[in-house]
Structure formats: C-alpha cells, structure tokens
C-alpha cells in the first residue's frame, strides 16, 4: 500500500521522497524484505469476487457486459448479455457487484454511478477539464434541452442552409446550467441581450477548407485511406464477389457487381483479371456483417439498413476512385431479395441515386467505425489488459511500469460510456444505424473479426491485403504497401517502428534471456489471465501469441501500446473535423432507396425534389445536433493531456539505461513530427495534400488543447 501512494505522489512531485523507491524489480530479484509486501499487495487488489464495490475500493475483478440494458425501468430497454456465452462472445469489464435486475436475473441493475477502482479514477485536474465531466454534463443538460427545443424528434433538415446555420447562428437554448457553460465555452455562447445561451458549433476543419468536398467522389474515396476510419479498406482477393451467408435465408450469394460492369466503369484500362493480379481493386465490405441485422433493424422506427459492398479502383496517381456500390436487403415479409448496384454517372437521376447510395454506405461506415474500430478495438478490448495488470503484476514489476501510462483513465472513461453512450437508449443507440442492436453488432464483430495478433498494425495491414512483407538487411520487419500513398499506414508504420524500438530496449534490459521470461511467474500469470479470463471467450483460439522469449513479450506489449496510443488517436481525434459536418459522414440512414419496391408517390417525390430525399435520409435535427456536440467533446484534448513521449515517467528516470532509451524515443517522435509535416506539403501525395485537402495529422505526436485533429496521447483517456 505504501508503495502505491509513493508512486502516485511522485507523479506530481519527485522531490518529496527518494527516487530509490521507484526501482523496478522482476519477481526473482525483489529484495527479500519486500517480497511479502509485493505478494500481499497483489492479493488485496484481486479481492474475493463477492459483494458490491464501493467508491473507495481498490478491487479489480471481471464481469460480463450485463449492465447496458435497463429492463426494470422499461421492457424495451432489455439487452442481451455480452460475454460468457457462445451467441455473443465479448471481452470482460470490471466487476461492480451491483444487485441483479428484478426482471432479468442475468443482468445487473443500473445506477447513476458505476464503480471504478480508486486508482483508475480521474485526478482532480483531469476530472475538472471539459473533456471528462463535460461528456456527462452534456448528456444530462444539452441533450434534454435539445429535445425540448426540437419538438419533433424525427424532424429532418428541410434545406442545406439550415445545416449551415448550426455554425453561424446556432441553436438558442433558453436555460442551461452555468457550470456547463464554464466547462464547454467553445460550444456554448452567451447572449448578452437576453441572458440565454446558444449552442454554436465550431466550423469543422474539413468544411472550413472545402465546403463542397463532401459531394465529391474523390474525397469520399480519399477518406477511406486518410479519414476517420482508415482501418476497413481491403484488397479484393477473390472474384466474383460472393457472400458466405446461407442463401436459403438471405437470398442468392452472388454479388450483382459483375465483371462487365467493372470493366465498363474503369473504361477498359484493365480486365478484372488483370486488375486483380496488379492489385488495383479495393473494397469496403459490410455485406455479411450487416445483412443478418437488416430485418430486425428495419422493424425500428426512423432507420433502415442494407448489407453493402463498395468497390474502388486504384488510379495511376495512387488515389482511389469509386466503381460501384451494392446495397442488399434479404427476403422480408414475402418480398424477394432486393439487390441493386449504383455507379457514378452524369445522368441526373442516377447521379442522385448514387449520392443516396453513398449516404447509406457512409452510415454503415460510421457505425462500424464507432462500434468496432473505435469502441471494440480500443476501449473495450483494452480493459482486460488493465485488470490483469493490476491483479497479476506488482507495481514494482517493470512491465507494469512500462504499460501503466498507457492504461491511465481508460477504465473510468469506459464506465462513463456504459453509463450514457453505449447503454440502452443512449447516444449511440439513438443516433447510429443499428440503433438498439449497436453493441450486439460489436459482439458479432468481436466473434468473427477480432484477433489479438491482428491488432498489431503490420499484421492488420497484411491481413487486409494493404501490405506485404518486404524484409531488408537493415529492417527485417519492413513492409511494402499495396497503396503507397496510404497516410494512416505511412505514418502509423513509422510510429509503430519507434514504439517497437523503445519497447525492445526496455524489455531486453530487464529480460536479456528467454529463461527470465519463462521463470517470471507474475508475467506468465498476467498473460494467461488476459487470454483465459479477460478475453476468455476466445481462450481456445490458436492465434494467441506464446510468451516464451523477449521477442514474444516485445510483440505483445508493442501491440497493446499501439492500440492505446496510435490506433485510438487515429480513430478518435478526427471525429469532429470529419463528422461534425454530418453530410460528410451521416451516422444513420433513415429511409430506403427510392428504387426499392417504390410506390408511384415515392417515385414522383424523388423526381420532383431529389435533394429532399437526401435530406430526409440524413439524421434528424435532434440526432445530428446531439451527435455533433458529443463528437466535439470526444475529439478534444484536455489542457493536461499526456502525450506519447512527452514526459518521462518517474520510474524510468532512476535507471540510466531506460532513461537513455526513452530520450532516444523522444527524439524519434520529433523526427516523426517533422516527417509528417514534410509529407503533408508533398504535392505528389494527393491523399494528404492539395487544395482544400485536410492534411493528415492524426498520428502527429503532440497537440495543443481542444479540437485539433492531431496528437497521440499515451492512453485512451476520452
């Protein structure tokens, strides 16, 4: 216990005690006088798995996600348990021990506070900044205020000028908590003459640079490589495209994107066979993961869904151009499977249909981004690493001290997400396409798509066909990118390399031989618990890395650090700049395509005013403004943000070897900053440079406070 308080105190004043207390020890080298305390401290943190946790506790234990629903208040708010069952496997969360629901004994009852171990709670500085308390206040004050002002929650925007007014006139809010005004001054503006407030949105960088960029196909394509969700684009490896779902349930498996159509769209430059061989065709494939949800999602009011495929062609200048969008609806209510392909065209009717189809795909991409690339792959999957580290690694353990800054505040931000964002009828369910099936969909993605080894950036790129190994004597881990101008991968691989260099120096200092890895009982228990308990629903998968050598440990730890720093930064801090102007990235598509079993009236309405069809498909005013406000908060850096490599941890100062390795890492990050700046002014790199193009800075290590679309913090702290 004493060592814990010493460590925490040192984060704020290293002059208070002797730094010798921060010496790191592997278990076998622990001074005899500390061994008993080391073991006892870990035992205390584990608890006994019983009782309801209190705010002052420091207990770390596991539970399934059975606290997202609220059946006691409303049967419609019941949600399935995620984790611990074959239907919905899921990572584990921290156990709170709250009483069981009265109406669903498998679920936990909800309360306005969620237990977070005391060591994981926000500091006074962090807790007082707008990026933490504001998210909670926003949902309790702004969201209800918007509901009161916008009487019809399904009302859309009648004109695009109404969308523009959000950035130059704002929304008048009659009354608001003054504390909220203090913590989010960038969003709330005071009206001196009336005393009222205005929710006035900052103009996102994307629309500030090019107001009409969202209309262009080249920008739509560019953002798959350099936008908010650059983790899903993949190389087309098989042709023809075909679903793996049961055709007896979902209809014919063959895609309607034919060879003839593709060759016509790429103007005969290549045959499809040649394009595949030369790696020219790429795809966003949300067909099989979304199609099983189409019927259930469509039974909800105010939304619709398709399975979708979007095909792109790689041009000679290393940019993508869209070839086709396929939207599919399985047989429903006696109707046959609906399957239609839309292509870019100059025909007025087909052009508007293309824009509508693109809006549907963007809504699909927004949902997959938020639920899979963001929530699942970073926040959700990291929590078991944190719990296992506390339960199995002493705070004197060198790997605990290496990982500790990368786990800071994550459990509390996850608890806030379960409280108000991903819960039943929370912001995600109200405003994103899957609605009540949102977190359930993330469980399906975890089941079918998530592998620990693929969370390493190089492995992820290779798996998606976006890179292949290209070893050199100087760099045996070198990759050759399939698309050489791929900003997320270009910058990410440099950051990955520097992270791995730092981790390698650190690990090999404490573990010079394989025997020292195998004999470290804390380390082995830690990795075993992550695999068999924290991610227990996947404990029997053959792809889990073994932990026998220093190289094994380097790979495991670098992957964890990349996910909590680089990957999270890439999918989080651009949210407002790219999605704040929601026509660029609508979170929901509310209406079906006009060509899907259309009525005569629907045809006439579309032909008379196609713009209205698009505006009606977009999120409602309430959905759009609420999400915009939330994204502004989630994209913001707090004034006390701790950036990767910015400040050395006190425990690293005491060892000259580690201190020197960290200083080298700091120098590498400055090199990365300079290289990103250089790349962003290179006119040959058209996916990150050009008139009106937002430069790619999401993996630039450091940032100012606020919404900047750059900066890589140590941890998932927002």
**Chunked in runs of 10, what are the mean pLDDT values of the chain (718 residues)?**
40 38 88 91 92 94 97 96 98 96 95 90 56 54 69 88 92 66 59 65 94 96 98 97 97 97 93 97 98 97 97 97 98 95 95 98 98 98 98 97 96 92 94 96 98 98 97 85 98 98 98 95 98 98 98 98 98 97 98 92 92 96 91 88 93 95 98 98 96 97 94 95
Go through the chain and tell me how many residues it has: 718
pLDDT of residue 585: 97
Q: Which residue has the tokens 């991409």?
A: 365
Which H or E run contains 326?
strand 320-329
Of 531, 532, 526, 562, the residue nearest 398 (C-alpha)? 526
DSSP H stretches of helix in 227-316: 247-250, 259-265, 272-277, 287-290, 294-298
Helix (H) or strand (E) holding 135: helix 133-137
Is 172 a catalytic site residue?
no
- Catalytic residue from among 369, 374, 406, 535: 374
Task: Report the alpha-carbon distance of residue 626 to residue 621 in Å, rounded.
Answer: 8
Q: Is 718 a catalytic residue?
A: yes
Query: How many helices (H) and strands (E) are present in the chain, helices listed first?
Result: 32, 14
For residues 206 and 655, what is the distance between their CA atoms, to the nearest angstrom? Answer: 45
Cis amide linkage into residue 3, ω under 30° from 0: no
Give residues with Cβ within 8 angstroms of 85, minimum separation 6: none
Quick check: is 364 catalytic?
Answer: no
Q: Scanning the structure block, which residue is given the tokens 């996600």?
A: 65
Element (H, E) at 576: helix 575-579
Give me the phi and psi of 185, to 5 degrees please: -65, -25
**d(C-alpha 298, C-alpha 300), whole Å:** 5
Take residue 87 and report the two structure tokens written for it. 């239907």
**CB of 229 closer than 8 Å to CB of 363:** no
* Pairing mode of beta strands 338-342, 320-329: antiparallel
Cross-sheet strand order for the sheet of 197-199: 171-173, 197-199, 188-190
Which of 360, 406, 535, 568 is the catalytic position?
A: 568
Cα–Cα distance measured from residue 215 to residue 182, given in angstroms and rounded to the nearest whole number? 37
The pLDDT score that the predictor gives to residue 177 is 58
pTM greater than the 0.85 cutoff: yes
Bridge partners, 564 (sequence order): none
For helices 610-617 and 348-368, what crossing angle results, to 10°?
10
Catalytic status, residue 397: no
Considering only CA atoms, which of 76, 331, 325 is closest in space to residue 220?
325
Number of Cβ within a 10 Å radius of residue 106: 15
d(CA 242, CA 465): 18
At 212 the three-state DSSP class reads coil
CB 295 within 8 Å of CB 303: no
Q: Is 186 a catalytic residue?
A: no
Q: What integer pLDDT is reported at residue 567 of this predicted model?
A: 98
Report the pLDDT value the prediction gives residue 31, as an integer from 0 to 100.
Answer: 92
Q: CA–CA separation, 514 vs 523, rounded Å?
A: 13
Q: Pick the catalytic residue from 197, 379, 397, 637.
A: 379
> Per DSSP, which regions of 552-679 are E strands?
636-637
Which stretches of 33-84 are assigned E, i.e. beta strand? 62-63
Taking the C-alpha atoms of residue 54 and residue 68, their distance in angstroms, rounded to an integer, is 20
12, two tokens: 């704020």
Q: What is the pLDDT of residue 290?
A: 98
Choose, from 572, 584, 680, 687, the residue flagged as catalytic.
572
474: which residues sit within 8 A by CB, 6+ positions away? none
């Amino acid at each position: 216990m004493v060592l814990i308080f010493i460590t925490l105190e040192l984060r704020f004043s290293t002059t208070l005690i002797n730094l010798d207390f921060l010496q790191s020890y592997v278990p076998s080298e622990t001074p005899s006088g500390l061994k008993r305390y080391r073991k006892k401290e870990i035992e205390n943190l584990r608890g006994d798995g019983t009782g309801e946790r209190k705010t002052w506790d420091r207990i770390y234990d596991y539970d399934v996600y059975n606290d997202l629903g609220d059946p006691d208040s409303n049967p419609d708010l019941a949600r399935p348990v995620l984790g611990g069952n074959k239907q919905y496997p899921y990572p584990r969360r921290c156990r709170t021990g709250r009483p069981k629901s009265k109406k669903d004994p498998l679920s936990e009852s909800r309360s306005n506070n969620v237990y977070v171990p005391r060591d994981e709670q926000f500091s006074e500085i962090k807790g007082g900044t707008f990026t933490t308390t504001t998210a909670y206040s926003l949902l309790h004050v702004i969201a209800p205020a918007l509901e009161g002002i916008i009487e019809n929650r399904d009302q859309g925007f009648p004109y695009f000028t109404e969308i523009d007014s959000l950035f130059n006139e704002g929304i008048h809010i009659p009354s608001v908590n003054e504390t909220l005004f203090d913590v989010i001054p960038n969003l709330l503006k005071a009206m001196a003459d009336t005393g009222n407030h205005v929710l006035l949105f900052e103009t996102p960088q994307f629309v500030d640079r090019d107001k009409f960029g969202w209309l262009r196909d080249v920008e739509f394509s560019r953002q798959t490589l350099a936008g908010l969700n650059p983790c899903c684009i993949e190389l087309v490896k098989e042709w023809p495209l075909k679903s793996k779902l049961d055709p007896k349930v979902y209809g014919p498996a063959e895609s309607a994107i034919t060879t003839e159509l593709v060759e016509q769209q790429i103007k005969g430059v290549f045959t499809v066979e040649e394009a595949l061989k030369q790696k020219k065709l790429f795809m966003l494939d949300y067909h099989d993961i979304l199609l099983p949800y189409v019927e259930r999602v469509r039974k909800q009011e105010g939304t619709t869904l398709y399975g979708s495929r979007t095909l792109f062609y790689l041009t000679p200048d290393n940019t993508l151009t869209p070839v086709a969008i396929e939207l599919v609806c399985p047989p429903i209510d006696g109707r046959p499977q609906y399957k239609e392909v839309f292509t870019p065209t100059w025909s007025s009717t087909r052009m508007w249909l293309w824009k509508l189809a693109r809006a549907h795909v963007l809504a699909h991409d927004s949902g997959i981004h938020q639920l899979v690339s963001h929530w699942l792959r970073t926040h959700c999957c990291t929590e078991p690493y944190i719990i296992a580290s506390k339960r199995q690694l002493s705070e004197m353990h060198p790997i605990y001290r290496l990982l500790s800054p990368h786990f800071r505040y994550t459990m509390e931000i996850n608890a806030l997400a379960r409280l108000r964002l991903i819960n039943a009828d929370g912001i995600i369910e109200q405003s994103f396409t899957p609605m009540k099936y949102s977190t359930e969909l993330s469980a399906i993605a975890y089941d079918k798509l998530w592998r620990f080894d693929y969370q390493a950036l190089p492995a992820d790129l290779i798996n998606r066909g976006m890179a292949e190994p290209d070893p050199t004597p100087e760099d045996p881990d070198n990759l050759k990118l399939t698309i050489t101008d791929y900003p997320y991968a270009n910058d990410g691989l440099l950051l990955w390399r520097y992270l791995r260099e730092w981790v390698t120096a650190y690990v090999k200092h404490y573990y010079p031989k394989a025997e020292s890895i195998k004999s470290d009982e804390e380390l082995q228990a830690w990795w075993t618990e992550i695999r068999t308990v924290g991610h227990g629903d996947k404990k029997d998968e053959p792809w889990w890395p073994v932990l026998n050598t220093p190289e094994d440990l380097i790979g495991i730890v670098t992957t964890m650090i990349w996910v909590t720093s680089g990957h999270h930064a890439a999918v989080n801090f651009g949210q407002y700049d790219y999605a704040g102007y929601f026509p660029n990235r609508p979170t929901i598509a509310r209406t079906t395509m006009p060509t899907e079993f259309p009525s005569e009236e629907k045809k006439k309405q579309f032909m008379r005013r196609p713009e209205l069809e698009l505006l009606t498909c977009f999120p409602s005013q309430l959905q759009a403004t609420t999400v915009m406000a939330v994204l502004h908060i989630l994209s913001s850096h707090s004034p006390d943000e701790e950036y990767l490599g910015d400040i050395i941890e006190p425990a690293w100062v005491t060892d000259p070897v580690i201190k020197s390795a960290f200083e080298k890492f700091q120098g590498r990050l400055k090199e990365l900053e300079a290289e990103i700046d250089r790349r962003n002014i290179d006119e040959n790199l058209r996916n990150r440079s050009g008139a009106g193009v937002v430069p790619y800075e999401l993996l630039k290590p450091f940032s100012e406070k606020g919404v900047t679309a750059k900066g890589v913090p140590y941890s998932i702290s927002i």
